[in-house]
Amino acid sequence: MSSSNSTPPPVSNNSFNRLIAYVANLIGAEPCEGRQIRDTFSETFKARHATKVEDCFAVGAAGTTPSLENVSGDWPRPWVFFYVLTAGVALYLCLAFLLDAYQNPHLVSGMILAGSFAAPVSIVVFFMETNNLRNVSASQVAYMFITGTMVSLAAALFLFSVTDRANLGWMGASIAGLVEEPAKVLALLVLVSNRRYRYTLNGLLFGAAVGAGFAAFESAGYAFKFGLNGIVMATAQAAQQNGGGVQLRSFTDPMREIILLRGVMAPLGHVAWTAMCGGMLWKVKGDKPFSWGMLTDARFLRVLGIAAALHMVFNAEFGSLHMPLVVAQGLIAWLVIFALLADGLKQVRQEKAKLTQVDALAAS
């Protein structure tokens, strides 16, 4: 990657950048300094050779991590994530088509996994691309995806058992915001002490990986549950009609509906909420050793509170207003993410400037 001037580009006066700057001030991040934010997806739909995709994943090892002076501080323009999303959706559609054509139940599990993982995994790739430092390997991301899923699911189930005993059922599904967000933060502690990953951009990526693992397995669980409910209903209807078989579609059609819904909503949910928390936790930690007091830092608690509140809105029942509010809370989450991304890029530019000063002093 070519070297980039450490001087930030001129501030754009467009309304989106001003909104990002407002959110940055609200959460305690550095104000936005990049006019390229509006061009984030300008490279997404351009045709490229397949070998270019490999460059996104060949990072993070001793020989593939660029030195700081060769890291760009410019706003990233990711595109590989769209290729991953397209491949995941294609796999899901292929399995769904074969299931319809041959009625082979062995394809059901593959369809569930492909549909549940496609969107969350592609969003993680988006955060790999926006990590300009290129210091996190694909294997490390996979480690956080897997370990984060295990830790966060176990912690969430334990906390749900606590809330059940506390008679908080009156909160309905919204209680998940107060349970699952802290559970996923607990999973982030697996890597927060690693001094190699001390940048805000790293925290955004690790948060996204944990959130994606949680979201993917949760979606797979919902798909299986909806499928079972479909079989129960179809069996009951068949019994009322004095016999008759239950078709495989009574199992798979409800699955497809929930897979499609949760796939479309994936960018507005767990991945975004946990990326927010990870980005701010890594910002608070910086290059200092981790201490438990960092979890009580006002900036981190503010972002964790925002994530929990957005999650509660996502799960709440608002009738006809539900989907508009889901979209609105997702947009708020991404405003916070863009603010933290801008903050992380400024951190990179500042460290590059310090390195330049040190080199200049050494040469004098």
Q: How far apart are CA 112 and CA 224, in angstroms?
A: 8
What residue type is 193 in one-letter code? S
> Which among 356, 343, 329, 298 has a CA at the least distance from the CA of 174?
329
The whole domain housing 166 covers: 15-363
pTM of the model: 0.91
Residue 10 placed within a domain: no
pLDDT single digits (tens) 200-250: 999 999 999 999 999 999 999 999 999 999 888 888 877 777 666 667 888
Residue indicated by tokens 């996979």: 142
Residue 1 placed within a domain: no
pLDDT single digits (tens) 94-148: 999 999 999 999 999 999 999 999 999 999 999 999 999 999 999 999 999 999 9
Residue 313 placed within a domain: yes
pLDDT single digits (tens) 248-302: 888 889 999 999 999 999 999 999 999 999 999 999 999 999 999 999 999 999 9
Residue 5 placed within a domain: no
Residue 6 placed within a domain: no
Q: How far apart are CA 17 and CA 21, in angstroms?
A: 6
- Kindly state the DSSP code that residue 155 receives in the 8-state scheme: H
Q: How far apart are CA 308 and CA 174, in angstroms?
A: 9
Q: What is the predicted pLDDT for the residue at 6?
A: 44
How far CA 335 is from CA of 31, 41, 184, 245, 340, in Å, comes to 12, 15, 20, 51, 9
Residue 42 placed within a domain: yes
- Report the share of the chain in percent with pLDDT over 70: 93
The tally of CA atoms less than 13 A away on the side-chain side of residue 3 is 9
pLDDT exceeds 80 at position 1: no
Q: How many domains does the chain have?
A: 1
Q: Do 70 and 3 contact (CB within 8 A), yes or no?
A: yes
